[in-house]
């Protein structure tokens, strides 16, 4: 994948704002409804969001540190490599979503969650938007970040943003689907 760096950052910003708006709208719902689960092994709306918060806790500081430490100035073009394409595609949303096993440390199943889960996500999305804006001044190809599953594997900054934001979109869609189910059951 070859894309204008500016266009990539704009596209990711749009997705982040959409994710942010969905969660902002969920703040008006009951905690009971947001904690509803179709079955004991499925995630509630709040568990979907908490899962994203856990990844944000890793990626936001990692991206911040790498942007601050880089000496590489911005480039016009971003070129994803095979590893970035693989991870981005594996976490991207699609209608026929492939189920993935979640790492135990990132699994929020049966957590006690409340509106603060949404507030934390909203704060993280604002931080991501700031990072996307700051990233306009750095090279998205040459600046590398660790990934949550291994500090030994490095992704290009552009791919790291794609993985983080596509993963957010995937689980926001999951949360929306869960909310639609509870809404139809409760007549909301």
Q: What is the mean pLDDT of residues 19-33?
A: 95
Range 9-12, long-range pairs (CB < 8 A, 24+ positions): 9/132, 9/133, 9/135, 9/136, 9/140, 9/161, 12/132, 12/161, 12/162, 12/165
Residue 119 confidence (pLDDT) above 90: yes
- Three-state secondary structure readout of 121-155: HHHHHHHHHHHHHHHHHECCCCCEEEECCEEEEEE
pLDDT attached to residue 98: 62
Report the residue count for the chain: 188
pLDDT, averaged across the chain? 91
Q: In this structure, what DSSP letter does residue 10 have?
A: H
Confidence of residue 187 (pLDDT cuts 50, 70, 90): low
Q: What would the pLDDT profile of 51-65 be if each residue is shown by its tens digit?
A: 999 999 999 999 999
Confidence of residue 175 (pLDDT cuts 50, 70, 90): very high
Sequence-ordered list of residues with C-beta below 8 angstroms from that of 17, at least 6 positions apart, any chain: 125, 129
Residue 188 confidence (pLDDT) above 60: no
Say which residue the tokens 């704009």 belong to. Answer: 10
Residue 106 confidence (pLDDT) above 90: no
Q: What is the mean pLDDT of residues 88-95?
A: 84
Q: 116-145 b/e with 16+ CB inside 10 Å = b?
A: ebbebbbebbebbeebbeebeebbbbebeb
Q: Which residues pair with 176 in a beta bridge?
A: none
pTM of the entire predicted model: 0.93
Q: CA quadruple 159, 164, 168, 171: dihedral positive or negative? A: positive
CATH 3.30.750.24, domain 2-94+105-186, yes or no: no
């Amino acid at each position: 994948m070859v894309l204008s760096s500016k266009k990539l950052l704009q596209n990711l910003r749009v997705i982040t704002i959409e994710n942010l708006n969905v969660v902002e709208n969920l703040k008006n719902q009951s905690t009971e409804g947001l904690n509803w689960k179709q079955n004991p092994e499925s995630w509630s709306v709040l568990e979907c969001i908490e899962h994203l918060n856990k990844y944000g806790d890793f990626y936001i500081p990692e991206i911040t540190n790498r942007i601050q430490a880089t000496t590489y100035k911005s480039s016009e073009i971003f070129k994803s490599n095979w590893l970035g394409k693989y991870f981005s595609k594996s976490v991207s949303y699609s209608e026929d979503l492939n189920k993935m096993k979640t790492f135990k440390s990132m699994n929020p199943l049966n957590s006690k969650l409340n509106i603060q889960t949404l507030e934390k996500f909203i704060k993280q999305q604002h931080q991501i938007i700031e990072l996307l804006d700051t990233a306009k001044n750095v090279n998205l190809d040459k600046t590398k970040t660790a990934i949550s599953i291994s500090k030994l594997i490095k992704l290009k900054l552009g791919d790291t943003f794609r993985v983080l934001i596509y993963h957010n979109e995937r689980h926001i869609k999951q949360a929306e689907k869960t909310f639609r189910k509870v809404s139809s059951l409760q007549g909301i």
